[in-house]
């Protein structure tokens, strides 16, 4: 978020995190099939109330799951989609429209869990700006 807002002093308290599933737990072996009503009540509803920037989802599981939860894919960037200038050949980004009209940015790539380079964040911000929230977004 510091790179997204170009603010190295942005405090951790400025970020809101919603964990839907313990993706990295080796003890969880069942498929994740959440009830869409629960997701609406406990995830999309609170996110809509917060307003603000797009929602970010990191990891392969999100790219597979979010369209199944009824989010509309509005663009595909990087691997498997349109080139947007990523330095990481394995990076795939889905831009999805959430049920409240806001944008969800889902990203996956091989390798480290570090954030994208500053110049790549700028290119991604341009892509997100090309898909403004719909009027129903808070």
- Indicate the pTM of the whole model: 0.78
Based on the structure, what is the number of domains in the chain?
A: 1
Number of H helices, E strands in the chain: 5, 4
Binning pLDDT at 50, 70 and 90, where does residue 79 land?
very high
Residue 39 covered by a domain: no
Is 120 contained in some domain? yes
Domain assignment present for 68: yes
14: DSSP letter: G
Residue 133 domain flag = yes
Inside any domain, residue 134:
yes
**What residues make up the domain containing 111?**
54-138
In a domain, 8, yes or no: no
In a domain, 7, yes or no: no
- Write the CA distances from 119 to 28, 87, 114, 133, integer angstroms: 37, 10, 14, 23
pLDDT range class, residue 138, cuts 50, 70, 90: very low
Looking at residue 103, its pLDDT comes to 86
Residue 80 lies in a domain: yes
């Amino acid at each position: 978020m510091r790179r997204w807002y170009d603010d190295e002093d942005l405090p951790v308290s400025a970020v809101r995190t919603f964990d839907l599933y313990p993706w990295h737990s080796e003890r969880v072996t069942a498929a994740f099939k959440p009830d869409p009503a629960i997701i609406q009540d406990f995830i999309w509803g609170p996110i809509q109330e917060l307003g603000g920037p797009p929602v970010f989802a990191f990891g392969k599981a999100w790219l597979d799951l979010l369209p199944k939860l009824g989010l509309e894919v509005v663009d595909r960037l990087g691997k498997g989609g349109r080139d947007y200038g990523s330095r990481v050949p394995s990076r795939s980004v889905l831009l999805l429209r959430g049920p409240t009209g806001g944008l969800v940015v889902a990203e996956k790539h091989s390798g480290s869990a570090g954030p994208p380079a500053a110049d790549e964040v700028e290119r991604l911000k341009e892509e997100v700006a090309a898909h403004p929230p719909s009027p129903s977004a808070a």
